[in-house]
Amino acid sequence: MTQEFVLHIGKDALLTALLVAAPMLIGGLIVGLAVGIFQAVTQIHEMTLTFVPKILVVFIILLLLSPWMLNVLISFAGTMLNNIPLVAH
Alpha-carbon distance of 8 to 16, in angstroms, equals 12
Q: Which domain holds residue 52?
A: 3-88
Q: What is the pLDDT of residues 32-84, one digit of tens each?
A: 999 989 988 988 888 788 889 999 999 999 999 999 999 999 999 999 999 88
The closest alpha carbon to 34, from 21, 55, 53, belongs to 53
Alpha-carbon separation of residue 39 from 5, 30, 34, 57 (angstroms): 49, 14, 9, 18
Q: How far does Cα 49 stand from its chain's mean position?
A: 23
| pLDDT the model gives residue 56 | 94
| pLDDT the model gives residue 83 | 87
- pTM for the model stands at 0.80
DSSP label at residue 48: G
Q: How many domains does the chain have?
A: 1
Sequence-separated (6 or more) residues with CB below 8 Å from residue 87: 1
